[in-house]
Amino acid sequence: MKLLRSFLLLSIILLFSAGTAHADDVKKGKELFKDSMLGTNGKSCNTCHSGGKDIDGSKNTFKILGSELEGIEDAANFCIEMALNGKPLEKGSAKMKALASYLRTLRGKKEIESETPGY
Ligand code: HEC
């Protein structure tokens, strides 16, 4: 019984720390998103995707300017190279993990032209 209780306690602690680690990643990722240091042309992700605009992080495949990309990491690296003139982030690196965690929280809608009032 005592063992079971310690086991339950341990599981709760582990779950809780995993949860806060994720929240930490999302926060760091959001900072990276606004950081022009990812590239070399003074732009950040937020320059074009203000507040996450146009990014739907719930998808697994992405199509950017005609290129099919598997996974959010590849999509992010595509923009880092093409839009920021930066070096792609290594997959599995702390920076990429943080950026990807943040991107997965985004549910940006593509702007729809028919939303223009009067049409
Ligand atoms: C110069 C403008 C520009 C910058 C800067 C930029 N992007 Fe993009 N990004 C685009 C365009 C254009 C698309 C394609 C949008 C479309 O198809 O509607 C795109 C698409 C994406 C997509 C796919 C979205 C989807 O839901 O299909 C992701 C993910 C993405 N960008 C991430 C990033 C990240 C991360 C950064 C910063 C490292 C970044 N972008 C910086 C222009 C930019």
Encoded tokens for 119: 């049409």
Among residues 69, 25, 75, the alpha carbon closest in space to that of 55 is found at 75
pLDDT (tens digit, 9 = 90+) per residue, 49-85?
999 999 999 999 999 999 999 999 999 999 999 999 9
Show the CA angle centred on residue 20, arms to residues 77 and 31, nearest 5°.
40
* Interval 28-45: pLDDT, tens: 999 999 999 999 999 999
Mean pLDDT of 89-109: 95
Task: Return the structure tokens found at 106.
Answer: 């985004």
| 73 CA to centre of ligand 1 in angstroms | 12
Percent of the chain with pLDDT over 70: 91
Q: Whose CA is nearest to atom 1 of ligand 1?
A: 83
Q: CATH for 2-109?
A: 1.10.760.10
Query: Does any ligand 1 atom lie closer than 6 A to the CB of residue 102?
Result: no
Q: pTM for the whole thing? A: 0.86
